[in-house]
Amino acid sequence: MKMRTAGSILLGCFLIFLALTNVQAQTVAPGLSLKDSLPIAEEELTSAKLYLANYWLYSVTYANSSKGNYWYYTFRANAPSEFNQVFVKVYMNGQAEISGGPERA
């Protein structure tokens, strides 16, 4: 009887542990709509002197970092090159960061 009780307690603790470790972080709804963030991403490309006609929008995802939530745009070059992709993060406060693509002065 003692063995069965100890086993039940151990199983119960294990199930509680599993439940707690499987709790996923809640994603906060975007404070900046996808529609409103696209012109910001395009302006960031333009200000980096990248000709928009040379790129097409490949994907957009919603992500987060220590700086906050952001829309993550991936633009691909129309013609394959060594600078095939450019990435733009548009944060919920309207700030944007660009990475990838050709070297900028």
Mean pLDDT of the chain: 81
Reported as a single tens digit per residue, the pLDDT across 61-102 is: 999 999 999 999 999 999 877 678 999 999 999 999 999 987
pLDDT beyond 80 at 14: no
Q: What is the pTM of this model?
A: 0.70
Reported as a single tens digit per residue, the pLDDT across 40-67 is: 999 999 999 888 888 999 999 999 999 9
Give the pLDDT of residue 81: 75
Cβ-Cβ contacts under 8 Å for 22 (sequence gap 6 or more): none
Cβ-Cβ contacts under 8 Å for 85 (sequence gap 6 or more): 58, 74, 75, 76, 77, 100, 101
